[in-house]
């Protein structure tokens, strides 16, 4: 085996790939060759590091020096300085927002220092396309242990004891789920993996599959052993081409190594795995819809009971867990249930990966122990709100979730607290909002998503979400009536009660939680016809302050609808009937003479 003195890890996750990390890799290779370093330095394409805000990211070992927002044009300097001369290229190092200090290694940045990586343990560390690297990090040790030392019931007991709960949304205890599926006697059972991550903004499952696909494969085999299934399916959205490719490679390698297939570890246990590509319908993340889709039918939920543990895929007992849940399994087996249960809170054990986005400095992926407060996530890990703005609320749980307002920022994040607050863990999207976000508009945004993604099977969701969206649209356009709030409440309550599946039942949550915490904003839109945050266009006016206007005519020239008129060197005016409120004039004005008025 070739031993290299240095490894350069380049993030090959979707985010960094989009910002040219593949180009960086080819630049690296050509400069390394030009400097005859090809036998000393190895370039490794890894999965996501998590700090997507600063991508593309590149880490050079053994120094562990981390370079952020690297451009292909930076590569020459990195090779010539760092690799040839051993001088760190300081200008590309991350800056810690709080300390305003340059640090060499990612581990020392607050963003990482406060994290605890279990599900993401190998992401950004190993080459996901080389099974040996996974094995080097204790990969498949858990499967080996399970198959040679444990009985299926022991495995289930261990997972139950760990307190692991489903990371896909509902938070159902994983061990109990396995136990239920282990009970029925059937000629065939299935293990499925939900990789149909669909919450807007969430991408932790994609990251795990891109950075550490074997951990999911290993866990599925363990689940198969525990419940007595010999066949698994990973249902993954086709929009994740990198994850799909890495999974395909990983499955092929696992088969070559005999870690999938017949008589694994010389036991009686055989397990095979196939990929099924989904077309990206949000509802196919719902377990029964996912299985219906695997069966080749229109992806729609079916009523439960019967539950998948008894009648799942092709009406056979089936276990379905999501990617992140599976990624925890090998560590639990290797380190023991007690270790895992020591992390987190009383009822929410372990860690949770969040995709932080919105109005926050460090957008990206973080894995934190359950019970970490929202404040720590926003300020310590996320680096606070940009431009010194005020934190208003955080939205968790995607379109099924709700908002946590500023006054509850010290809330510990776990399954039960979030439910109590009218939100939910969901798959772990966390969108931060500041004073410039209109909460009615936020609710409308999520409703629009649900309206688009409703499968159309049951009327409460198909028509009900549409009607709620129409009411919100009316309110944000200043056409809301006082009875609209009552209508929203009636619809929300009854859609929750009677929709067929979880998607419909939780669709009203964004409305209910914003109504709960931000009722005043709804009232302002309806009664005063004002949008306090200045977001809803119909309720805004762009006005030129005659005192500040120098009459330069720049705004007039920028206006796409010729709504601005005036004479040079005299104050200009905006014709409100023609104005489409695009804001181009405000951006153009050098004298800050144009104001947005609520």
Partner 1 sequence: MAEMVTLTIDGIEVKAPVGSTVLDAAKSAGIKIPTLCFLKEINEIGACRMCVVDTGARSLQAACVYPVSEGLKVVTNSPAVREARKVTLELILSNHERKCLSCVRSNNCELQQLAKDLNIEDIRFDGETYDFCVDDASPSIVRDPNKCVLCRRCVSMCKNIQGVAAIETMERGFKTIVSSPFNMSLNDVPCVNCGQCITVCPVGALKEKDDTQKVWDAIANKELHVVVQTAPAVRVAIAEEFGNPVGSRATGKMVTALRKLGFDKVFDTDTAADLTIMEEGTELLGRIQNGGKLPVITSCSPGWIKYCEHNYPEFLENLSSCKSPQNMFGAVLKSYYADKMEIDPKKMFVVSVMPCTAKKFEVQRPELGTDCYSDVDVSITTRELARMIKEAGIDFNNLEETHFDDPMGDATGAAVIFGATGGVMEAALRTVADILDNTDHAEIEYKAVRGVEGIKEAEVEMGGMKVKAAVAHGLGNAKKLLDKIKAGEAEYHFVEIMACPGGCVNGGGQPIQPATVRNEVDLRAERAKAIYVEDESLPIRKSHKNEKMMKLYEEYFEKPGSHKAHKYLHTHYVARENYPDDCSEGCC
Partner 2 sequence: MKSLAELAAIREKALKEISLRQSNDGYKIIVGMATCGIAAGARPVMNSFVEELKKRNLTNATVSMTGCVGVCRLEPMVEVIAPDGEKTTYVKMSPEMVEKIVVEHIVNGKPVKEYTIGNADN
Residues within the interface to partner 2 (CB under 8 A): 1, 3-7, 9, 40, 61-64, 82-87, 125-126, 132-133, 135-141, 144-145, 148, 257-259, 264-266
d(CA 22, CA 9): 12
| Shortest distance (Å) from residue 61 CB to partner 2 | 5
Number of residues that bind partner 1 (CB under 8 A): 34
Residue 457 touches which member of partner 1, partner 2, none, C-beta under 5-8 Å by kind: partner 1
**C-alpha 503: how far from its chain's center?**
17
Tell me which of 456, 519, 538, 562 binds partner 1, using CB under 8 A. 456
Stretch that binds partner 1, among 95-103, 150-158, 401-409, 450-458 (CB under 8 A): 450-458
| Shortest distance (Å) from residue 63 CB to partner 2 | 5
Which residues 6+ apart lie within 8 Å of 340 measured at CB? 118, 162, 163, 164, 328, 331, 332, 349, 350
| Sites for partner 1 among residues 457-496 (CB under 8 A) | 457-460, 462-467, 470, 487, 490-491, 494, 496
First vs last Cα of the chain: how many Å apart? 68
Residue 7 touches which member of partner 2, partner 1, none, C-beta under 5-8 Å by kind: partner 2
Contact (Cβ atoms closer than 8 angstroms) between residue 160 and residue 176: yes
Half-sphere exposure at residue 348, Cβ-oriented, CA atoms within 13 angstroms: 22
| Shortest distance (Å) from residue 519 CB to partner 1 | 21
Contact (Cβ atoms closer than 8 angstroms) between residue 422 and residue 402: yes
| Shortest distance (Å) from residue 339 CB to partner 1 | 33
Smallest Cα–Cα separation from 59: which of 14, 85, 33, 24? 24
d(CA 252, CA 128): 13
455 is an interface residue for partner 1 by CB under 8 A = yes
| Shortest distance (Å) from residue 303 CB to partner 1 | 4
Q: Is 101 exposed, middle or buried (0-12, 13-18, 19+ CB in 10 A)?
A: exposed
**C-alpha 50: how far from its chain's center?**
10
- In the bound state with partner 2, the residue whose beta carbon lies nearer, of 133 and 484, is 133
Residue 536 touches which member of partner 2, partner 1, none, C-beta under 5-8 Å by kind: none
Q: Please name the residue ranges forming H helices in 272-408.
A: 287-294, 323-335, 337-341, 374-375
414 is an interface residue for partner 1 by CB under 8 A = no
Residue 257 touches which member of partner 2, partner 1, none, C-beta under 5-8 Å by kind: partner 2
Residue 500 touches which member of partner 1, partner 2, none, C-beta under 5-8 Å by kind: partner 1
Residue 478 touches which member of partner 1, partner 2, none, C-beta under 5-8 Å by kind: none
Write each residue from 492 to 521 as x if it is in contact with partner 1 (CB under 8 A), else as -, in one continuous string. Answer: --x-xxxxx----x----------------
| Shortest distance (Å) from residue 331 CB to partner 2 | 16
- In the bound state with partner 1, the residue whose beta carbon lies nearer, of 452 and 575, is 452
| Sites for partner 1 among residues 241-300 (CB under 8 A) | 281, 283, 298
- In the bound state with partner 2, the residue whose beta carbon lies nearer, of 135 and 543, is 135
Evaluate the omega torsion of the peptide bond into residue 306 and state whether it is cis, within 30 degrees of 0. Answer: yes
Which residues 6+ apart lie within 8 Å of 10 measured at CB? 16, 21, 24, 25, 28, 43, 44, 45, 46, 56, 57, 58
Smallest Cα–Cα separation from 556: which of 544, 541, 538? 544
- In the bound state with partner 1, the residue whose beta carbon lies nearer, of 334 and 420, is 420
- In the bound state with partner 1, the residue whose beta carbon lies nearer, of 131 and 501, is 501
DSSP class of 457: S
Which residues 6+ apart lie within 8 Å of 420 measured at CB? none
Classified as helix, coil or strand, 272 is strand
d(CA 541, CA 564): 13
Task: Starting at the earlier edge strand, list the strands of the sheet with 391-396.
Answer: 364-369, 351-358, 429-434, 391-396, 402-405
| Shortest distance (Å) from residue 84 CB to partner 2 | 7
Residue 250 touches which member of partner 1, partner 2, none, C-beta under 5-8 Å by kind: none
State phi, psi for 273 to the nearest 5 degrees.
-135, 135
| Shortest distance (Å) from residue 87 CB to partner 2 | 4
- In the bound state with partner 1, the residue whose beta carbon lies nearer, of 451 and 593, is 451
Residues within the interface to partner 1 (CB under 8 A): 281, 283, 298, 302-303, 305-306, 451-460, 462-467, 470, 487, 490-491, 494, 496-500, 505
């Amino acid at each position: 085996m070739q031993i290299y003195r240095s490894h350069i890890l380049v993030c090959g996750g979707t985010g960094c790939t989009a910002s040219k990390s593949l180009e960086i890799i080819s630049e690296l290779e050509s400069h390394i060759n030009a400097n005859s370093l090809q036998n000393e330095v190895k370039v490794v394409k890894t999965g996501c590091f998590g700090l997507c805000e600063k991508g593309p990211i590149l880490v050079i070992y053994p120094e562990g020096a981390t370079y952020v927002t690297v451009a292909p044009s930076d590569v020459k300097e990195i090779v010539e300085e760092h690799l040839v001369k051993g001088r760190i290229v300081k200008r590309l190092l991350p800056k810690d927002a709080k300390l305003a200090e340059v640090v060499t290694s990612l581990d020392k940045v607050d963003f990482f220092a406060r994290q605890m990586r279990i599900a993401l343990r190998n992401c950004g560390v190993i080459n996901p396309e080389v099974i040996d690297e996974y094995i080097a990090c204790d990969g498949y040790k858990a499967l080996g242990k399970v198959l040679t030392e444990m009985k299926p019931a022991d495995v289930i007991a261990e997972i139950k004891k760990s307190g692991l709960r489903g990371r896909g949304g509902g938070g159902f205890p994983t061990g109990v789920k396995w136990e239920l599926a282990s009970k029925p006697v059937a000629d065939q059972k299935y293990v499925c993996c939900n990789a149909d991550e669909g919450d807007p903004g969430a991408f932790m499952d994609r990251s795990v599959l891109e950075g550490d696909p074997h951990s999911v494969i290993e866990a599925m085999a363990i689940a198969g052993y525990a419940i007595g299934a010999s066949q698994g399916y990973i249902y993954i959205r086709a929009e994740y081409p990198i994850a799909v490719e890495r999974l395909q490679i990983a499955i092929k390698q696992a088969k070559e190594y005999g870690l999938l297939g017949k008589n694994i570890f010389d036991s009686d246990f055989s397990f095979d795995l196939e990929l099924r590509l989904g077309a990206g319908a949000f509802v196919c993340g719902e377990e029964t819809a996912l299985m219906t889709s695997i069966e080749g039918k229109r992806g729609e939920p079916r009523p439960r009971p019967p539950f998948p543990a008894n009648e799942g895929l092709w009406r056979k007992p089936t276990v379905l867990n999501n990617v992140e849940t599976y990624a925890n399994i090998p560590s639990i087996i290797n380190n023991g249930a007690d270790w895992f249960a020591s992390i987190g809170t009383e009822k929410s054990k372990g860690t949770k990966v969040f995709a932080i986005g919105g109005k926050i400095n460090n957008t990206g992926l973080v894995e934190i122990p359950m019970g970490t407060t929202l404040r720590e996530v926003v300020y310590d890990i996320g680096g606070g709100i940009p431009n010194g703005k005020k934190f208003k609320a955080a939205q968790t749980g995607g379109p099924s979730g709700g908002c946590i307002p500023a006054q509850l920022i010290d809330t510990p994040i776990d399954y039960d607290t979030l439910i109590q607050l009218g939100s939910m863990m969901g798959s772990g999207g966390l969108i931060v909002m500041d004073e410039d976000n209109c909460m009615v508009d936020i609710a409308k945004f999520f409703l629009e998503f649900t309206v688009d993604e409703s499968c159309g099977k049951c009327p409460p969701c198909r028509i009900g979400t549409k009607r709620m969206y129409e009411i919100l649209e009316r309110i944000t356009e200043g056409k809301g009536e006082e009875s609209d709030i009552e209508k929203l409440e009636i619809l929300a309550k009854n859609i929750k009660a009677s929709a067929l599946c979880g998607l419909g039942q939780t669709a009203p949550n964004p409305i209910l939680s914003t109504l709960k915490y931000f009722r005043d904003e709804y009232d302002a839109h309806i009664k005063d016809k004002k949008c306090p945050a200045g977001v809803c266009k119909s309720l805004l006016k762009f006005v030129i302050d005659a005192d500040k206007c120098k009459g330069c005519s720049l705004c007039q020239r920028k206006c796409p609808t010729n709504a601005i008129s005036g004479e040079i060197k005299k104050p200009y005016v905006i014709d409100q009937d023609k104005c489409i409120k695009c804001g181009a004039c405000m951006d153009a004005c050098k004298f800050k003479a144009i104001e947005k008025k609520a």
